[in-house]
Amino acid sequence: MDEDRTPDERLKRQRDDLQLLNQVMRHDIRNDLQLVGAYAELLDDHVDEEGERYLEIIKENTESAVTLTTTVRDLAQVMLREDAEPKQVSLDHVLSQQVEEVRSAYPEAVFTVEGSFPDEAVVADEMLSSVFRNLLQNAVQHNDETPPSIEVSAAVVEDTVEVRIADNGPGVPEHLREEVFGKGEKGLDSPGAGIGLYLVRSLVELYGGEVWIEDNDPKGAVFVVELDIAQ
């Protein structure tokens, strides 16, 4: 029984179980969801007008679930790491790549890059891409405007780089801004993007940085990520 194991043995068992869950999430569940999405696309020419509404709901929720499997995979990877140390990462390369990838995944949204991104290296690691991917996807998925509009900018502020991802959605009321990162009373059941934003804050804090939310003008929210410049 588990009670008979030493603390180290129980920890190893938990890590093994988490690794197995990560593999199942990454492979079996994700593959099944992608198959559902592919067959939904094939039904486009075989449903009537009313059926199109329902088919679109299937497509949207399947896409959302595939995105969730990626987030859970990334969160498990963070939890499974042992003594990982942040290193120097090119902010320009990672942020530019994620803007292009999310832009391709959401052609209905309008992405604007303000100016150029700083060429400084920041303190982070290979998971920094997950930070920006989740914030960019969140700006589209929780947007009630047509089209969703997202503006991305970054600038050096003293010895840090601030990345700002602004949207024209409904915004986040000030009293909920801690909860959407999974740190509030409701934890991962908090309103908003839930586990995706929990992963964002977990990673940014691991790098010694900060993430917060501001109001956008005239409407929407601005997610700000502050990362130290690598010395």
DSSP 110-178: EEEE-S-----EEEE-TTHHHHHHHHHHHHHHT--SSS-EEEEEEEEETTEEEEEEEE-SS---GGGTT
Pair 138, 213 in one domain: yes
Domain boundary among the residues 63, 80, 97 is at 80
Pair 56, 91 in one domain: no
Structural domains of the chain, count: 2
Sorting pLDDT into bands at 50, 70 and 90, what band is 84? low
Pair 93, 155 in one domain: yes
Pair 110, 177 in one domain: yes
Pair 157, 216 in one domain: yes
pLDDT at residue 28 in the model: 78
pLDDT averaged over the chain?
85
Distances (CA, A) of 39 to 67, 156, 166: 18, 46, 34
pLDDT at residue 100 in the model: 97
The per-residue pLDDT for range 110-150, each reduced to its tens digit, is 999 999 999 999 999 989 999 999 999 999 988 989 999 99
Structural domain containing residue 211:
87-228
What pTM, to 2 d.p., does this model score?
Answer: 0.75
179-183, 189-193, 226-230: which is most confident: 226-230
Pair 139, 65 in one domain: no
Pair 48, 137 in one domain: no
